[in-house]
Amino acid sequence: MSIPVFAPNQMRLFTRRSLSSVGGNLDQVRRKIHVQALKGISFEIKRGEHLALIGHNGAGKSTLLRVIAGIYPATQGVVSVTGSIGCVLDMGAGITPEMTGYECIKFQHMLFGNPDEEWQDLAEDVAEFTDLGDYLRLPIRTYSEGMRARLIAALATSWRRDILLIDEGIGAGDQEFQEKLSRRVRRLLESAGLLVLASHSIDLLRTYCTRGLVLAHGEVQMIGELEDAIQAYANMRLG
């Protein structure tokens, strides 16, 4: 998985000396800098499995989730996904900062909702779950990070999905909201069957996951039972 790196809001590339090697490996192809975000990734997840993605910042966890979701196309290899996907990522599919909360709800209902149901029913559910109230009438760019996380988490868990992908979002908000979201996710997982969760919180991973995949610099270091993966990651940090 190779990603070209541009300067923010500009159509020019960073120079090599301005980049850090904390995350993936850096390559220069035809004078363009590419981050080798993922390399040699190969694994299979079956229905009923709850997989934790474990690794340092820049290890490739978020990129891998986005490749699975189809947000990032793989530049090499094949990604095979069977079933519907729900994502709790930075921003949901089709959501832009200029949309109001209600516009986001209506759009998501058009994409994933039951055509026999009114989007207003979904809006009531989201409003009650998130406690966003009149903020749903405002553009998302006015929301705090926690408010955006609430809205995205609510939308991602509003319908039955075969696969649920979560990138830290479940830990957003105060303790009361985390408990509400935890109950909502558990109900969804009873029918979803497959979960991939990326988080730095070991307690959170232990709550939801039974297996673990350890990433370092975009490569899989090991995949196996969760406690074995947690220990492998701890050994990597100590080493």
pLDDT in tens, the chain (239 residues): 555 544 445 444 444 444 444 555 545 545 555 566 788 888 899 888 999 999 998 899 999 999 998 888 888 888 898 888 877 775 555 678 899 999 999 988 887 777 778 899 999 999 999 999 999 999 999 999 888 888 988 888 887 788 888 887 665 667 788 888 888 888 877 776 789 999 988 988 998 899 999 999 999 999 999 999 999 999 988 86
Helix (H, G, I), strand (E, B) or coil at 28: strand
Cα-based angle 142, 144, 146 (whole degrees, multiple of 5): 145
Domains for the chain: give ranges and CATH numbers: 43-238 (3.40.50.300)
What are the C-alpha distances in Å from 161 to residues 131, 156, 199?
24, 9, 21
Estimate to the nearest angstrom the gap between the alpha carbon of 71 and the chain centroid. 10
The token pair at 236 is 């990597």
For 141, left (φ over 0), alpha (ψ -120 to 50), or beta? alpha
E-state strands within the chain: 2-4, 25-29, 32-36, 50-54, 85-88, 163-167, 194-198, 211-216, 219-225
Give the β-pairing of 163-167 and 85-88: parallel
CA dihedral (158, 159, 161, 164) in degrees, to 10, reads: 0
pLDDT of res. 55: 94
What residues are paired with 165 via a beta bridge? 87, 196
Helix (H) or strand (E) holding 174: none
Residue of 60, 51, 81, 54 whose CA lies nearest to 69 = 81
Tally of CB atoms within 10 A around 21: 10
- Distance (Å, whole) CA 114 – CA 4: 38
Task: Compute the distance between CA of residue 174 and CA of residue 228 in angstroms, rounded to an integer.
Answer: 30
Give the separation between CA 101 and CA 207, rounded to whole angstroms. Answer: 30
Name residue, tokens 């910042």: 57
